[in-house]
Structure 1
């Protein structure tokens, strides 16, 4: 499997569909029933359908066979089957489904599913929106962001290996990551590390530190920069402290 291109985008405003009074009222009623309390008076969150559709338009330059949407927190259109909608707007009307409830591991799982199915062309779309209409013990992402990776068998950046480890205790994450990175890096003279906030915080060296506040898309946003610099191996790693997932992938940049 190869990564053919990466597209990324910040979405500065709320979802367009929230400008419709009927849609706003419906969302407010749904959230009130779900949470048992009235939601915040201002609904300013984003729709993953809207975000991902823009990313699909930017990344898909032809028909796609498989589309995998990765997200962690819910969006502001809870009644929409978003993956089905994206299949409709994506060239090729691909098989499409979503990966969620895995925290920051979701995009890694999406890549693994693409690798295992080996379609001719696939899209992995990772999105996170930065607003919740109720109190949460975990702060939401800093801003609405999305990253799309177009994958396939054509000439591109080769995914050399992808590894995911469940139930990794925080005190064991750094050592396991170091061993895995050493395995992924074998035979490569130049290795660049792109590590998420939780993993880089316990890393003994100085990786390409990804700014905090974007737990799902942060490392993939930085990967887009790394792919623009030719040569060597890029290792992308992330650790989810809450769900205890450790994920790493090696990508050989052409």
Structure 2
């Protein structure tokens, strides 16, 4: 699959759905029930974004009506402010082509890489990967949240005879084992794309002392960080790498693009 169009957007304020007082009260009660057994409570003033609203805007930006999508994959990590909605199903309804759709979550920063693997394995003509994260939790927690609400959408098409997109994922990797596996992954992916721009997350660069020259993505956007840079790149090929210290996933992908279509 070859990247033919990408869009990225930062979102401010709250989701439109939070303007509904009934919805706000229902979501607050829902999360209060979920976290009560753990000794936590809901936040006093619910805020945040809905991935459905964020992704709908990105779909409208990236997918023209004349280019129907066959498969849509939504990748996210923390939940949003509409937990009762099947967001991937909703996005199928608003995306040209009414594609088969599903979400990948509970894999931390590895989720978008898994989404790319799924897209490649399905062998469809055209697929959309949407990566989203919002910077608020609806309950009390000491966990760090993203610095901003951000989303990235990437439209891929099959390319006959190309090795446009390749992925390498390594599970259960302790920090000490990262350098060796990282060198191997980058070497394998660079074989077909020797001039690819390298983009590494801050978390990966921190545990890989002899990393290659690269664009380093600052901490603060664990889900969209490397993909945000990919969406804005002007090179023909970009190699992205990320490491989730908590879940111990090490991931790499090389993405080739049709630069006549990438924004």
Pairwise TM-score range, normalised by the shorter structure: over 0.9
Instruction: Return the offset for 1:182.
Output: 1.3
Query: Root-mean-square deviation (CA), in Å?
Result: 1.7
List per-residue Cα deviations over 1:204-229 (Å, max 9, x = no partner): 24420001100000000011122x23
How far apart, CA to CA, are the structure 2 residues paired with 1:88 and 1:14? 23
Partner of 1:64: 69
Instruction: Return the offset for 1:137.
Output: 3.7
Matched residue count: 250
Structure 1: which 5+ residue stretches go unaligned?
none
SS of corresponding position for 2:232: helix
Instruction: Return the offset for 1:136.
Output: 2.6
* Alpha-carbon distance change, 154 to 57 in structure 1, aligned in 2, over 3 angstroms: farther
SS of corresponding position for 2:69: coil
List per-residue Cα deviations over 1:53-95 (Å, max 9, x = no partner): 1111111112111100000011110100111111111111110
Aligned partner of 1:246 among 232, 239, 250? 250
Aligned partner of 1:217 among 205, 224, 239? 224
Instruction: Return the offset for 1:133.
Output: 2.4
Would you say the 8 A contact 2:128–2:156 is kept in 1?
yes
How far apart, CA to CA, are the structure 2 residues paired with 1:116 and 1:220? 20
Would you say the 8 A contact 2:3–2:257 is kept in 1?
no
Partner of 1:13: 13
TM-score by length of 1: 0.93
Instruction: Return the offset for 1:184.
Output: 1.3
List per-residue Cα deviations over 1:119-156 (Å, max 9, x = no partner): 1111100000100122334201111000001011259x
Instruction: Return the offset for 1:111.
Output: 0.7
List per-residue Cα deviations over 1:7-44 (Å, max 9, x = no partner): 11101111100001111111111111111154222111
Q: What is the correspondence of 1:91-102 to structure 2 with a 5 Å cutoff? A: 91-102=96-107
Tell me if 1:74 matches 2:79: yes
How far apart, CA to CA, are the structure 2 residues paired with 1:158 and 1:87? 27
TM-score by length of 2: 0.90
Q: What is the correspondence of 1:159-238 to structure 2 with a 5 Å cutoff? A: 159-186=164-191, 188-203=193-208, 204=210, 205-226=212-233, 228-229=234-235, 231=236, 233-238=237-242
Tell me if 1:83 matches 2:68: no
How far apart, CA to CA, are the structure 2 residues paired with 1:144 and 1:247? 23
SS of corresponding position for 2:164: strand
* Alpha-carbon distance change, 38 to 138 in structure 1, aligned in 2, over 3 angstroms: closer
How far apart, CA to CA, are the structure 1 residues paired with 2:77 and 2:123? 25
| Deviates most, 31-40 or 59-68 | 31-40
How far apart, CA to CA, are the structure 1 residues paired with 2:123 and 2:193? 25
List per-residue Cα deviations over 1:201-253 (Å, max 9, x = no partner): 13324420001100000000011122x23x4x421111111111111111234
Instruction: Return the offset for 1:174.
Output: 2.0
